[in-house]
Amino acid sequence: MPPSALELDFGPVERDPHQPLAAGAVLLGGFALQDAVALLAGLKAVVAISPFRHMVTPGGWPMSVSMSNCGAAGWVTDRRGYRYDPDDPETARPWPAMPLVFSTLAARAAEAAGFAGFVPDACLINRYEPGARLTLHQDRNERDFAHPIVSVSLGLPATFLWGGASRSERPRRIPLVHGDVVVWGGPARMTFHGVDTMKDGAHPLTGAIRFNLTFRRAN
Ligand code: MD6
Ligand code: FE
């Protein structure tokens, strides 16, 4: 017997889809699930133009996470520091345009989290292989911290590290899975955060990779 429409619509729900992390920050469980295939197609088109690369920190260390960008501004790091650049330093061309499915999803998620009118001009694309990690940091290279940040997880699960206003605060560990979206802004905007060392695994859409899209208003 086929499952009833009721079962299809309402199960299986394992987590509250709207999980507050702090004032101004919320995890929208599964918010991007319906768009995941289109988002991955958009990602593929972007990195065909501006490929993933391991950028170097100002201290000279290559990051374990490889990155690309799309939109009017792209986040970059090199020996000169962290900043947004309208051009991809590797191609010496503007970053690829932000796919409509990216900006539409980011705006919908921001609105669902209470930040109506979010128009991202930058999308940083992070690519994690098993063993990759992102140390605790604040996102502070944007011009106006009044805008929230929208973060979309695709592929392998990860443990998000959610700290406090100072680096010394011990972070909470938040599991993030394929399709999850985190939005934060307002009083949570400068929270220290990171991603714990990625475990090995296999996701049907991405294999042994986690992608993260973070949408910002840089300028
Ligand atoms: C990641 N995310 O989830 C890394 N930053 O792969 C971030 O560093 C981040 O998710 C600011 C806002 C949301 C984020
Ligand atoms: Fe960040």
> Across the chain, what does the average pLDDT equal?
94
Q: What is the pLDDT of residue 108?
A: 98
**Ligand 1 atom showing the smallest separation from residue 160 Cα:** 3
The sign one gets for the Cα dihedral 62, 124, 207, 195 is positive
CA 9 to centroid of ligand 1, rounded, Å: 30
Residue of the nearest CA to atom 13 in ligand 1?
151
Tokens of 146: 């009044």
* Total residues belonging to the chain: 219
Ligand 2 centroid, distance to 136 Cα (angstroms) = 8
From ligand 2's centre to the CA of 40, what distance in Å?
20
Q: What is the pLDDT of residues 99-131, one digit of tens each?
A: 999 999 999 999 999 999 999 999 999 999 999
In degrees and rounded to multiples of 5, residue 20 shows phi and psi of -65, 135
The model's confidence at residue 2, banded by pLDDT at 50, 70 and 90, is: very low
Q: Which two tokens stand for residue 121?
A: 């001009």
Go through the domains of the chain in sequence order and give each one's CATH number: 15-216 (2.60.120.590)
188: Cβ below 6 Å to ligand 1?
A: no
- Give the end-to-end CA distance of the chain in Å, rounded to a whole number: 55
- Nearest-atom index, ligand 1, CA of 210: 6
- Residue 3's pLDDT band (cuts 50, 70, 90): very low
Summarize pLDDT for 49-92 with one digit per residue, the tens. 999 999 999 999 999 999 999 999 999 999 999 999 999 999 99
CA angle 24/108/88 to nearest 5° reads 90
Instruction: Kindly tell me the number of DSSP H helices and DSSP E strands found in the chain.
Output: 3, 15
Q: pLDDT confidence of 4, banded at 50, 70, 90?
A: very low
Whose structure tokens read 């939005």? 183
